[in-house]
Amino acid sequence: MRHRLAAACGAAVVVAVTTAGCGVLPPLPEPVPVDIVPTVAPSLAPEGAENLSPDGFDAVERMAVRIRNVGCSALSTGSGFAIDEHTLITNKHVVADSAELEVSTYDGRDIAVDTASTAALADLAVVRTEDPLPSYPDLAEGDPVAGDPVTVVGYPEGGALTVTTGTVIGTAHDPLNANLGEVLVTDAPVEPGSSGSAALDEEGHVIGVVYAKTADGQSLLVPLSTLQQMLDDDASFTPAATCN
Amino acid sequence: MSTNPASPLPPSVPPAAAPTPPGADQGVGSAYGAAQVYEPVSGVGQERRRGRATPVLAVLLAAAVALGTYLWVTTERWRDTSAEWEAEAGGYAREVADLRLQLDGVNAELTSAREQLATATDRITDLANEKAQLGDENVASQQYLEYQRRVSEAAGVVATALGQCTDGQQELIGYLKDADSYDPADLERFETQVADLCTQAKDANTALQQELQQ
């Protein structure tokens, strides 16, 4: 009997210690905190942030300019795009034989032109502006390959700012013999007046400059490599010929 | 159990003198079986055991009371905490409902603002295009006016030349009426000069007419 009682007591103690040690007995609750709102708010990615800009126009539109070539007895229009705050790229035939060049931006602002110079070995021209340009893109790292998407932004027919898309078809010899080396062929729609438009890749980087259109509706681009080659050589550009 | 029927061990205490304690095994079903030994129990021993068991029971009772008290307090605390959490959750739920309502309103305003922005940008693009077209028309008009000015100027020059031609021819006719009074060589030279002047006037007039037809 004594052994049983001792065993019972021992069992009770063991059970009590075990249950307490194992957490079977519920602990007292922690006091309810005054404020459970996290101090650091969760970061939420806003929808449509890629379209944010100072005025609702995206960078592709903001970098494009319309160029009016006021000749001595003629008028023509073309397109261009900024590569820095005071430099535009366009085609040589857009600025050739002009008495005055008039540049306007996507929102209709007029940009005063300082100088214009043209390349001898490519249908390219550089226009320096007195007024700052709204936006300018980066150049791509290299020429595109067949199948790459392309976006063209310019002023076809001298009309409203237009963005068209297509893909790079390949390269070809320049049918107009206006450029040294091969040119890019794309199926992005262009029209007269689109000359000088920027051709961009998916990241919005410049991959070429529109300069012509084939009879079957394909667009021809001066490739980025040619543009960079011309820009790297200061002697490749000479003052543009005027009609005066 | 494992009793040996061939040599059963007799109980050490007669069953009448040694009552089986409650719960104790007897017979075949016991774990100890026939080997279990029962001590003799007397009234003094029982009293002694009761005396020993009382503090133990008291301790157990105290422990049970303490445990029950702890569980009661814990339960009450959890109940209170649960109520506080529920109130807290209710407050946040109302706040979430308000925020959702505000979010819906803000989203609606954002959608409207985006639509207005798209309309505004389209309108800006249209206005920029209209301005460009007006600029083109202005330049073209200026060039056309310049052209008209140059054409009018050319027409004046042509008219003057034709007039000089006519005057020269009339003067030549007058000289020829009184040809005997002039040196024939001078008359011939004057006639050649008038002819050249009229040829130039006719060429200028022809060029002007061709320009006007373009």
- In a domain? residue B12: yes
Number of structural domains (chain B) is 1
Q: Helix, strand or coil for residue B190?
A: helix
- In a domain? residue B15: yes
pLDDT for position A18: 52
Q: Assess contact for A161 and A64: CB atoms under 8 A.
A: yes
Domain span at B29: 1-41
In 3D, which of A110, A175, A185, A102 has the Cα closest to residue A144? Answer: A185
pLDDT for position B115: 95
- pLDDT at residue A84 greater than cutoff 90: yes
> Which B-chain residues 151-210 have CB contacts (< 8 A) with chain A?
none
- In a domain? residue B81: no
ipTM for the predicted complex comes to 0.82
- Ranges of CATH 2.40.10.10 domains, chain A: 58-135+232-239, 149-227
Q: How confident is the model at residue B77 (pLDDT cuts 50, 70, 90)?
A: very high
- In a domain? residue B32: yes
List of chain B residues whose C-beta atoms are within 8 Å of the C-beta of residue A77 = 132, 136
What pTM was estimated for this model as a whole? 0.71
CA distance A234 to B79: 83
Average pLDDT in the A185-189 region? 96
> Which A-chain residues 124-153 have CB contacts (< 8 A) with chain B?
none
- In a domain? residue B1: yes
Q: Which helix (H) or strand (E) holds B195?
A: helix B184-213
- pLDDT at residue B73 greater than cutoff 50: yes
The token duo for A161 is 């700012």
- In a domain? residue B184: no
pLDDT for position A99: 95
* Topology, domain A58-135+232-239: Thrombin, subunit H (2.40.10)
Q: How confident is the model at residue B168 (pLDDT cuts 50, 70, 90)?
A: very high
In 3D, which of B169, B149, B173, B164 has the Cα closest to residue B201? Answer: B164
| Nearest chain A CA: its distance from B123 CA (Å) | 10
pLDDT for position A3: 59
> Which is more confidently placed, B213 or B67?
B67
pLDDT for position A97: 93
pLDDT for position B45: 66
Q: How confident is the model at residue A28 (pLDDT cuts 50, 70, 90)?
A: confident
Place of tokens 């001298």: A158
CA distance A126 to A82: 10
Which of A66, A69, A72 is the best substitution to test chain B (most B C-beta atoms within 10 A)? A66
CA distance A178 to A192: 17
- For A141, A202, B175, B210, the CA distances from A183, given in Å and listed in that order, are 17, 20, 74, 43
> Which residues is A69 bridged to in the sheet?
A76, A101
- pLDDT at residue B16 greater than cutoff 80: no
- In a domain? residue B206: no
Q: Which is it for strands A237-239 and A182-186: parallel, antiparallel or unpaired?
A: unpaired
pLDDT for position A95: 96
CA distance A109 to A103: 8
* Topology, domain A149-227: Thrombin, subunit H (2.40.10)
Question: For chains A and B, what is the number of CB pairs under 8 angstroms?
Answer: 96
CA distance A185 to A174: 10
Q: How confident is the model at residue A19 (pLDDT cuts 50, 70, 90)?
A: low
Average pLDDT in the A156-161 region? 96
* Yes or no, beta carbons of A29 and B70 under 8 Å apart: no
Q: What is the pLDDT of residues A46-75, one digit of tens each?
A: 666 655 678 889 889 999 999 999 998 899
- pLDDT at residue A116 greater than cutoff 60: yes
pLDDT for position A175: 87
| Nearest chain A CA: its distance from B168 CA (Å) | 36
